[in-house]
């Protein structure tokens, strides 16, 4: 949908603030997901050598608030799947952010708003 010029100054301010809030929320969520992704990558990096040297070694995984005892062999594949899912979610959010930012830039041009 092409952006429309606002009818009043108040409407322009409301739209501008809405775009900024949406972009800020997306950026915050992206930051949270990047942190989760980094944590999963660190755990995988730690467990990868153990998968070949000591695959039956006990490790613990937090699942839904419950600490579960497993072996490295059991945990690594599920951690990799979770890591991949987090990466896909991050990619989707980043694309949404870029789209929303471009939409905001288009609206600012149409509305003649700077900032």
Domains of the chain in start order, with CATH, are 9-108 (1.10.287.370)
Rounded Cα distance between 27 and 82, Å, is: 21
Question: Do residues 44 and 81 make contact, with C-beta atoms less than 8 angstroms apart?
Answer: no
The model's pTM: 0.84
Residue 46 has pLDDT above 80, yes or no: yes
Question: Residue 6 has what DSSP assignment?
Answer: -
Which of left, alpha, beta for 112 (phi over 0: left; psi -120 to 50: alpha)? Answer: left
pLDDT in tens, 61-111: 998 999 999 999 999 999 999 999 999 999 999 999 999 999 999 999 988
pLDDT in tens, 4-45: 766 788 888 899 999 999 999 999 999 999 999 999 999 999
Question: Do residues 108 and 1 make contact, with C-beta atoms less than 8 angstroms apart?
Answer: no
What token pair was written down for 74?
């059991």
- Residue for token pair 């930012």: 101
């Amino acid at each position: 949908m092409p952006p429309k010029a606002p009818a009043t100054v108040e409407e322009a301010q409301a739209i501008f603030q809405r775009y900024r809030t949406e972009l800020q929320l997306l950026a915050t969520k992206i930051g949270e997901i990047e942190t989760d992704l980094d944590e999963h990558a660190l755990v995988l990096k730690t467990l990868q050598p153990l998968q070949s040297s000591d695959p039956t070694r006990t490790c613990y995984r937090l699942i839904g608030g419950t600490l579960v005892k497993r072996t490295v062999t059991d945990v690594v594949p599920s951690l990799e799947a979770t890591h991949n899912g987090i990466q896909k979610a991050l990619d989707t959010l980043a694309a949404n952010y870029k789209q929303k930012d471009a939409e905001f830039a288009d609206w600012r041009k149409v509305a003649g708003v700077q900032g």
